[in-house]
Chains A and B, each alone.
Chain A
Amino acid sequence: MKSLSEIETTSKRASRAIGFSWGISEEVGKSVRLLELFGYPGIKNLNHYFQSKKKESYQNIKLIKQINKSDQKLYCPITLGVSFLDQIKKIESFEKCLFQGIAYPILFLPFLSRCSEIIGKKILFEIEENKFLLNFNISISSNNFQKEFPIKANNTEIRFLENKDGFSDIDWKNLYKLSEETFVEETDSLKQGAAGAGLTDND
């Protein structure tokens, strides 16, 4: 089994060899490490993408707008990922962001994962029927687990989810009530002697 350290170093060096700057290559190393850590096929897709890059060219996106359509060429997932990461604090205000035509979209995932941590919001990434929930760079939930990843995404949508409870008020209240059963009812004597603070706050 390859260690994550080996995965990061080799991905970084391969990215440099294919023509990315050292700074971008460092980002790729971290991202592929993250994918593999979360159980996604980062090495396989990076390899396939770099092989395809020798034959085809891809579009580098610079400034990200709310709706982004690639021209004849697909977006490079790496420059897209780095730009998205760099501009996330501005992009966040869009609430939703659309991309048409991304090559190897799985390679874009770890950048979104890191964005989720930076803005402190979960991010939902939809590639047609595949959904990925990026949880503050702690995990990536998906309905795609162990399926083949598309090598091209025609339509994708990214949504920044507001920090809201994922449960109902009733569920919370019921559970809270149960938790109260670990508390002790205070008698007068306990009220007098067990509290740390003073009894009068007017002194």
Chain B
Amino acid sequence: MKVELRNPNIIMTLSRLGSFHQSRLSFLRSFLYEFKDWEYKRDLFDLDEYGFGTAVYSFKKKDRVYSLVCFANKINNDERSDRVIATKWDAAFTLHDGMPLKKDIERLRNEVPKQEVGRLSYKELTLSRANKSVRIFDHVVESLSNGVQPNMDLLEKVGYLYRTTAVYGSGKFGLADRFRIKNREEINGPFRLEMMLVYLVRQFTFDQVNHVAKNKNPKSAVKLDPKICKNLGIGNSTGLGMAPFIVNHPTLLNNWILCREIALKKIREIKKVETKDGNLFKDCVRKSIKNITSWNTESEYQLKKIKDLLKDLKKFINFVENEFDFEKDYPFNQIYLWLEKETCEECIEYIVSIMMEPYGEIVSPLIKEMSSDEEKYFNIPTERTVEELRLILEKKYSNILSINFEKKENHRKFWFISKNKEEPRLADRFEEDGSDLEQPLAIARDIKELYKKLLVSKNSLTMDRFLVENSHLRHVVRRAFIIEKFPYSEIQDNTISEKIVPIDMLRLKLSFFGALKFDPRSDKWLRICMFQGAPLPNELKNFDEQWVYNNN
């Protein structure tokens, strides 16, 4: 039986993309798998009694070394902010290519804590900063220094000691360009070095809290129980900065989604599912409930989604355990069809993710296909005709072509870059100034305008001639020829509608990172947790691949 790939006009809507969850394809999970055989080491730990100072952690294999350089600094409580306007952080980090020399550390000490206004070199790969969850960090120090483990309820509510507020890579602020490292086999997957940075930062937070507690009370202090460490991750506050990324990298977006869709298709096409695979799937679904019941948020939007997910998930468990027979042919296809009929988008995508758990042999080869050589698809095929382009638009953008952009509600918002922080922002064009400097992220509106132009142009006109008079539409002409080859490269929705929920765009990206427990703080930023439940560095050699569902 052949199953068709799912329709991009459904999958690429924002509400569906905003319902995606982590899976075996997620970058933090594939990072752990790739680096499980690497030698982990804490090379330097030079902190004072209060936990301020420098530390270096590394992963090494043969001649290749990646080193996390950490600078922990004292800041006042009133200087601590997760917003991008902050200028000081509790700790700042960079991932250095190789083992840093003393002079590298000195250079980095001057630059890394400055973050966006510092300058890095081609020897640095990623850059980040993080703030303590002061309430949790202080509680853990206090408990450990008194010889007891911290209150688990409190820890569970937050889930981390530190949260990062940005992780930069790929040439930002002088960091190494992607082309310098793209042929390295171990990073043949998106955002792998960003994941490495966050993972090593997590370990730093445990070492730092133990160090401070020990110095506070050397005689009675105990170390944080490794089981507790394992159930702590790294928090992250994410704003609109991520949203334009998925619009500006269409072939990359396509490859992420396409790999997920291929995995699902292949799983649905399995005729006979082995008992152990069916059991693993059911086990993960059952255990995953804990990830939902411990998902804390004050966002009404997210609370409703969680409530609906939990309701549908219970319904699904009842179905799969009491009514469903895995002995049937094509059981995962049956399950998928049932989900489409009976559950919400959030639940469909949640179960789709879990379907991948028993099938490492399907998922692993796809991970290598998730990067993209975007340059290859940049040139516009100018020998193509108006008629050909019009047909592409009609076929690939049918939802978008039905939007009426004459209505204010459909073009109320505009995306711009803040002069103060060089970060993307979203505003109301009828109430705020600045829409004349709008970023090219209103793809739906511009595609519609292109379509109107094509309708009044001669069918046989070639693109080189069409573009002479329509240079303002060049960016969408390029995209239309990209979507012809890459069906999942475009969000099939209106990114300037008054109804847009930008966090759907963030969630899509964060789900591919492998984030858990999305906690929207408004419609424009959210908090998440990464690596919660993940193996510690000393457990990597032989870890449980389903750790996401098996944490306690």
Interface string of A21-60 (1 = CB under 8 A from B): 1111011001000000000000000000000000000000
B170: interface (CB < 8 Å) = yes
Closest to A8 in B: B171
Contacts of B478 in A (CB 8 A): 23, 26
Q: Considering the chains assembled together, what is the distance between the CA atoms of A86 and B470 in angstroms?
A: 13
List B residues 436-476 near A (Cβ within 8 Å).
440, 463-465, 467-468, 471-476
Known contacts A3-B176, A89-B383; A62/B468 CB under 8 A: yes
Contacts of A6 in B (CB 8 A): 171-174
Shortest beta-carbon distance from A9 to chain B in Å: 9
Size of chain A's interface in residues, with CB distance under 8 A? 26
Task: Please determine whether A90 and B464 come into contact, CB atoms closer than 8 angstroms.
Answer: yes
Q: Considering the chains assembled together, what is the distance between the CA atoms of A24 and B471 in angstroms?
A: 7
Q: Which of B176, B382, B477: most chain A CB closer than 10 A?
A: B382
List B residues 203-262 near A (Cβ within 8 Å).
none
B177: interface (CB < 8 Å) = yes
Interface string of A1-22 (1 = CB under 8 A from B): 1111110000001000000011
Q: Considering the chains assembled together, what is the distance between the CA atoms of A3 and B171 in angstroms?
A: 5
Looking at the complex, which one of A4, A21, A62 makes contact with B475 (CB distance below 8 Å)?
A: A21
Task: Please determine whether A5 and B471 come into contact, CB atoms closer than 8 angstroms.
Answer: no
Contacts of B179 in A (CB 8 A): 4
Closest to A83 in B: B468
A contact face: mostly helix, strand, loop, or mixed: helix
Size of chain B's interface in residues, with CB distance under 8 A? 33
Q: Considering the chains assembled together, what is the distance between the CA atoms of A22 and B474 in angstroms?
A: 7
Closest to B467 in A: A86
Task: Please determine whether A86 and B463 come into contact, CB atoms closer than 8 angstroms.
Answer: yes
Q: Which of B121, B465, B467, B477: most chain A CB closer than 10 A?
A: B467
B380: interface (CB < 8 Å) = yes
B175: interface (CB < 8 Å) = yes
Looking at the complex, which one of B174, B382, B417 makes contact with A1 (CB distance below 8 Å)?
A: B174
B379: interface (CB < 8 Å) = yes
Contacts of B338 in A (CB 8 A): none
Known contacts A30-B378, A87-B382, A89-B382; A5/B475 CB under 8 A: no
B122: interface (CB < 8 Å) = yes
Task: Please determine whether A118 and B171 come into contact, CB atoms closer than 8 angstroms.
Answer: no
Looking at the complex, which one of B122, B440, B464, B468 makes contact with A22 (CB distance below 8 Å)?
A: B440
Contacts of A121 in B (CB 8 A): none
Q: Considering the chains assembled together, what is the distance between the CA atoms of A90 and B467 in angstroms?
A: 15
Looking at the complex, which one of B171, B463, B472 makes contact with A21 (CB distance below 8 Å)?
A: B472
A122: interface (CB < 8 Å) = no
Looking at the complex, which one of A2, A21, A114 makes contact with B474 (CB distance below 8 Å)?
A: A21
Known contacts A21-B475, A89-B383; A63/B468 CB under 8 A: yes
Contacts of A30 in B (CB 8 A): 375, 378
Shortest beta-carbon distance from B414 to chain A in Å: 13
Shortest beta-carbon distance from B123 to chain A in Å: 11
Q: Considering the chains assembled together, what is the distance between the CA atoms of A30 and B383 in angstroms?
A: 21
Interface string of A63-90 (1 = CB under 8 A from B): 1000000000000000000110111111
Interface string of B395-421 (1 = CB under 8 A from A): 000000000000000000000010000
Contacts of B170 in A (CB 8 A): 5
Shortest beta-carbon distance from B95 to chain A in Å: 15
Interface string of B351-387 (1 = CB under 8 A from A): 0000000000000000000000001001110110000
List B residues 120-151 near A (Cβ within 8 Å).
121-122
Task: Please determine whether A86 and B380 come into contact, CB atoms closer than 8 angstroms.
Answer: yes
Q: Considering the chains assembled together, what is the distance between the CA atoms of A22 and B465 in angstroms?
A: 18
Q: Considering the chains assembled together, what is the distance between the CA atoms of A27 and B463 in angstroms?
A: 16
Q: Considering the chains assembled together, what is the distance between the CA atoms of A4 and B383 in angstroms?
A: 30
Q: Considering the chains assembled together, what is the distance between the CA atoms of A61 and B471 in angstroms?
A: 13
Looking at the complex, which one of B121, B172, B378, B380 makes contact with A5 (CB distance below 8 Å)?
A: B172
Known contacts A86-B380, A89-B382; A3/B175 CB under 8 A: yes
Contacts of A13 in B (CB 8 A): 417
Q: Considering the chains assembled together, what is the distance between the CA atoms of A21 and B474 in angstroms?
A: 8
Q: Considering the chains assembled together, what is the distance between the CA atoms of A21 and B468 in angstroms?
A: 12
Interface string of B169-202 (1 = CB under 8 A from A): 0111111111100000000000000000000000
Q: Considering the chains assembled together, what is the distance between the CA atoms of A86 and B383 in angstroms?
A: 8
Q: Considering the chains assembled together, what is the distance between the CA atoms of A1 and B120 in angstroms?
A: 8
Contacts of A114 in B (CB 8 A): 379
Q: Considering the chains assembled together, what is the distance between the CA atoms of A18 and B467 in angstroms?
A: 20
List A residues 84-130 near B (Cβ within 8 Å).
85-90, 114, 118
Closest to A22 in B: B440
Known contacts A22-B440, A86-B463, A114-B379; A5/B177 CB under 8 A: yes
Given contacts A24-B474, A87-B464, A89-B464, 19 further A-B contacts (CB under 8 A): A3-B122, A5-B177, A5-B178, A6-B171, A6-B173, A13-B417, A21-B471, A22-B472, A22-B474, A22-B475, A23-B473, A23-B478, A24-B471, A26-B378, A26-B474, A85-B382, A87-B382, A89-B382, A118-B379
A-B contact pairs, 5 of them (CB 8 A): A3-B174, A6-B171, A30-B375, A83-B464, A86-B382
A residues apposed to B, CB below 8 Å: 1-6, 13, 21-24, 26-27, 30, 62-63, 82-83, 85-90, 114, 118
